[in-house]
Structure 1
Amino acid sequence: MSNQRLWALAPLMVLSLAACGGEADKAEGGDGATPAPSSKTLAAAIGDEGDLDTLEGVVKNAGLSDVLEGKGPYTVFAPANAALGTAGADLAGEAMKAQSAALLRAHIVPGALTRADIMAAIERSGGGGVQIRTMSDGLLTFSKDGDAVVVTAADGATARLTGEEKVVSNGVVQPVDGVLVKAG
């Protein structure tokens, strides 16, 4: 299938995930409430979160702050400082701008996906997992491991959704405990 057709399918995948939100209350075991949207943008939410300082530096170096301030919506699977480790520092500087942008595109999907949306889609799939394309044209697979949601990239890199999601004016920040690209 051509990349053009795959990108044309991306909004449909987002809509199918978002349309599943009503079943999330049962899947989460709590009240299933999605945080109230903030008037902040993705860039501001990442900048305000102390455990995402390294990611904020990568965003700035990549020159993508304006994109994350823009219209959206996008969902950013945001690696925490510990997950990025020295990779974040290695991506500093003008010479690493393209690599910074590539790393970020592998962590961003079109649409605003809350955990409730993701959990409901996994449940609808019969627990077998659901997939969505990233802005780098990679494929992320979402599945459950006990109560945790695991995200697996096509290259085998994995992370778990952690921390508190931030629903903002132009998308959702989903903190993760790993980088969704294997070091190569």
Structure 2
Amino acid sequence: MTMKTMMRWALAPVCLMALAACGAEGGRKDDAATVAAPSGKTIAATLKDEGSFGTLERVLTNAALGDVLAGKGPYTVFAPSDAAFTASAGDLGDEAMKAQGAAMLRAHIVPGALTRADILAAMSRGGSGTVEVRTMANSLLTFSKEGEAVIVTGDNGARARLTGDETVASNGVVQPVDALLVKPAAS
């Protein structure tokens, strides 16, 4: 690991705390009203119990990352729905795709708990209307708005829209998205 990479990882928690603090100062009242009450479930249990994340939960189990999202955290998972996986190449839940599934998952997980109110507050305070967050895969997710929709864009240009209701779990946040944030490798 290079010194530059180590420095980025060392600064990641500080950046996330600053991003979270932006939302803690009281964003718009309508943003605060959309934040769900914390659940007693972990992120892993939330994904398992929610009907629209069956494929993601299967990939999570195959990649042996379930313990991570059942652990202490906090994490934010930008969770693609089952429908988002229909356009993917290969079955990431298949044993032969374990490494690709793990890489895809890490590109959808951010350390720290980020609610939509946090993201929107950081975008408005940043001046540019965008904000970047580093994933567990060491890639960047860029958030922006198109009308009222919050758009998240991966390093490779893959784009998704934050959809549905976020779930604040005991160890982080599940943010549903309508597409994969990486293009999976062909099988």
Deviation at 1:127, TM superposition (A): 4.3
- In the alignment, is residue 46 of structure 1 matched against residue 58 of structure 2? no
Q: CA RMSD in A?
A: 1.6
1:98 corresponds to: 99
Note closer, same or farther for the CA distance 1:88–1:170 as it changes in structure 2 (3 Å cut).
Answer: farther
Separation in 2, partners of 1:109, 1:25 = 24
Number of equivalences:
182
Q: Secondary structure at the match of 1:2?
A: helix
Query: Percent of aligned pairs with the same residue?
Result: 60
| Greater mean deviation of Cα atoms: 79-88 or 67-76 | 79-88
Structure 2: gaps spanning 5 or more residues: none
> Is there any run of 5+ residues in structure 1 with no aligned partner, and where?
none
Instruction: Pick closer, same or farther for the CA change 1:105–1:30 going to 2, 3 Å.
Output: closer
Shift of 1:91: 1.1
Quote how far apart the aligned CAs of 1:48 are. Answer: 1.1
- Map of 1:118-137 to 2, 5 A cutoff? 118-137=119-138
Q: Which residue of 2 aligns with 1:148?
A: 149
- Name the CA distance, whole Å, in 2 between partners of 1:79 and 1:3: 28
Question: Counterpart of 2:181?
Answer: 180
Q: How does 1:11-90 map to 2 (within 5 A)?
A: 11-21=13-23, 22-26=25-29, 29=30, 32-85=33-86, 87=88, 90=91
- Alignment correspondent of 2:5: 3
Give secondary structure in 2 for the equivalent of 1:19. helix
Pairwise CA distance, 1:126: 2.1
Residue matched to 2:168: 167
Cα deviation, 1:117-174, whole Å, max 9, x if unaligned, reads 0000001012430001000000000111111110001110000100000001100000
State the Cα deviation string for residues 49-80 of structure 1 (Å, max 9, x = none): 11111111110110011111000000000001
Deviations 1:11-69 (A, max 9, x none): 1111111111134225xx45534211111000000011111111111101100111110
TM-score, length of structure 1 as denominator length: 0.93
TM-score with structure 2 setting the length: 0.91
Cα distance in 2 between the residues matched to 1:88 and 1:77: 19
